[in-house]
Chains A and B, each alone.
Chain A
Amino acid sequence: MKILVSVKRVIDYNVKVRVKADQSSVDLTNVKMSMNPFCEIAVEEAIRLKEKGVADEVVVVTVGSKACQETLRTALALGADRAIQVEAEDGLDSLSVAKLLAAVAKEENADLVVMGKQSIDSDNNQTGQMLAALLDYPQATFASEVVIENGEAQVTRETDAGLQTLAVTLPAVITTDLRLNEPRFASLPNIMKAKRKPLEVKTVSDLGVEVGCNVSIVSVSAPAERAAGIKVGSVAELVEKLKNEAKVIS
């Protein structure tokens, strides 16, 4: 079984986000970039399926500029077998990315696509679902447990109401939630080895996909700051303030 994992290079989750003065976007110059945390979980899950003998190849793919090769190397160091970079401008919209991933999934004839449920930059939570729709594959989003058997994936999903378990026939798209696994760290020998693993570059036109989108950004602004509050000295004072000042309890 072949697993395709898509990964995204995003601002590191520890970095404090700053909006550009001209309000055009977020300032990403000289900012530490990393693999999106949900994508790390996706890579880990695919590698575990390979280690269990369920999968025999893990191919990792990203859509973006040359800098994204770094993210692919990270995935290779974690254990993916080979990588594909679809050369495109950074920050492409989700539907275009889903179309490019669909073309790669078809070309690769992947049995399963595993990807993060959302990226921590655009916070859209949609590319996996769009990919599944374009391929007419079933989907299991927000996965916290994945079991592959008899040509289907049994996936436990994190929902607002609790947990839901679905069985989807392969090929399918699974998107990962936080509790699916705890990603490993790459060892130094594996980082060295990753440099020699195959990394193929494809262009958007190679894949025969038209990209572009009808949504444009008007402005990006910093959120309204909350005015700093006060410290209270005791529980009694807190209760008094909540009753008489904030009037949120009676």
Chain B
Amino acid sequence: MSVLILAEHDNKSLKAATLNTVMAATQIDQDVHLLVAGFECQTVVEQASKVVGVSKVLVADNTVYEHQLAENISKLVVELAGNYSHVAAPATTTGKNTMPRVAALLNVSQLSDVIKVESPDTFVRPIYAGNAIATVTSTDPIKVLTVRITGFDAVASEGGNAEREVLSQVIATEKSRFISEQLAESDRPELTSASVVVSGGRGMGNGDNFKILEGVADKLGAAIGASRAAVDAGFVPNDLQVGQTGKTVAPDLYIAVGISGAIQHLAGMKSSKVIVAINKDEEAPIFQVADYGLVADLFEAIPELESSL
């Protein structure tokens, strides 16, 4: 049996999260197919067919799939699912939106946020904000999963040569309609795939002060993140949020600035390879997970850090 992966893309490019999901899939079975459902997404299809480990790319290119609404994409996946033992997607907002619908339509469970594949029917996933790790086994005929991308390395994006199959199914949805989109524009690397992340917390004081992180981020080629406290306080938009209810990141270097280290924030970043904490409160829980802690006023330390990089 094979694994079908719902590819993450924006009709223009294949998103890196797909590569980590392919890695998870190759640990389940060697036959991995990617479904690219979108509109005018030819570039994505080309990128998808070069991904190492992918043997086939299924293409559903139609205006009805342009915004990847859960209602019709889930039905499309269900139509294909009978040929597969596993159906997976990265645990991004798109994957999380669509895959539970797929599972319900197939009358099977969904295993969310898988961080490790033990065997084709046994998987590891964090629960309670990562404060407990569950190993679960499923006897469902088709296993539906979302993959936490920080749990798996990415496969190479070039070097493969998958065959392509164009799908003819056109499934429209009348009940849901796309109205608009406000994309966060940034020249920085994507938060979830950046190798360095600089995050600010409530200690930043206000949204304007986040600018002082930019200099450091520029020098390190880093993405900028934030704690939920900073998002709740309105300093920065929610798409920067790292934590249980935001994004999960695992960069080589995570620099937490003015972040106290609430459990729910740690859930989103404690798999980072090296953690640096800069906080003026030496009792802050963030220091318990930091490899390098600096007790200092961030408004002095950050400019100094920028100039010494």
Contact = CB atoms under 8 A, between A and B. Distances in A.
A215 B293 contact: no
Contact of B128 (A26, A138, A144, A249): A26
Given A161-B239, A178-B228, A229-B292, A129 B70 contact: yes
B166 interface: no
Contacts of B293: 229-232
Contacts of A235: 294, 296, 301, 304-305, 308
A29 interface: no
B70 A139 contact: yes
A236 B308 CA distance: 7
Interface residues of B, number: 91
B94 interface: yes
A34 interface: no
Contacts of B104: 95, 98, 129-131, 133-134
A13 B94 CA distance: 26
Interface size class on chain A is 35 or more
Interface in B71-108: 71, 74, 92-94, 96-105, 107-108
A208 interface: no
Contacts, number: 252
B266 to A, nearest CB: 9
A231 B294 contact: yes
Interface in B127-146: 127-140
Interface in A127-146: 127-134, 137-142, 144
A140 B40 CA distance: 25
Given A93-B109, A123-B112, A220-B132, A162 B182 contact: yes
B179 A167 contact: yes
| Main DSSP-derived SS at the B contact region | mixed
Given A161-B10, A179-B238, A242-B276, A218 B103 contact: no
Interface string A169-186: 100100001110000000
Interface stretch (B41-49, B54-62, B168-176): B168-176
A160 B132 contact: no
A70 B278 CA distance: 42
Given A123-B127, A166-B177, A248 B184 contact: no
Contacts of B112: 123-126
A136 to B, nearest CB: 8
B194 interface: no
Nearest to A216: B137
B69 A232 contact: no
Interface stretch (B27-35, B151-159, B267-275): B267-275
Given A121-B127, A165-B180, A178-B245, A215 B140 contact: yes
Interface in A210-250: 213-223, 226, 228-232, 234-236, 238-239, 241-242, 246, 248-249
B23 interface: no
B130 A219 contact: no
A19 B179 CA distance: 45
Contact of A230 (B69, B244, B292): B292
Interface string A95-137: 1001000000000000000000010111111111111111001
Interface of A: 11, 13, 16-17, 19, 26, 93-95, 98, 118, 120-134, 137-142, 144, 154, 157-169, 172, 177-179, 213-223, 226, 228-232, 234-236, 238-239, 241-242, 246, 248-249
Closest 3 A/B residue pairs (Cβ): A126-B100, A129-B100, A229-B291
26 contacts: A17-B129, A17-B132, A118-B245, A120-B244, A122-B127, A123-B112, A123-B126, A123-B128, A129-B100, A132-B101, A138-B71, A139-B176, A159-B93, A162-B239, A167-B179, A168-B175, A169-B174, A178-B228, A178-B231, A216-B137, A218-B135, A218-B136, A220-B127, A231-B293, A235-B308, A242-B253
Given A160-B247, A239-B309, 9 more contacts: A16-B131, A144-B238, A221-B133, A222-B131, A223-B130, A231-B294, A235-B296, A235-B305, A235-B308
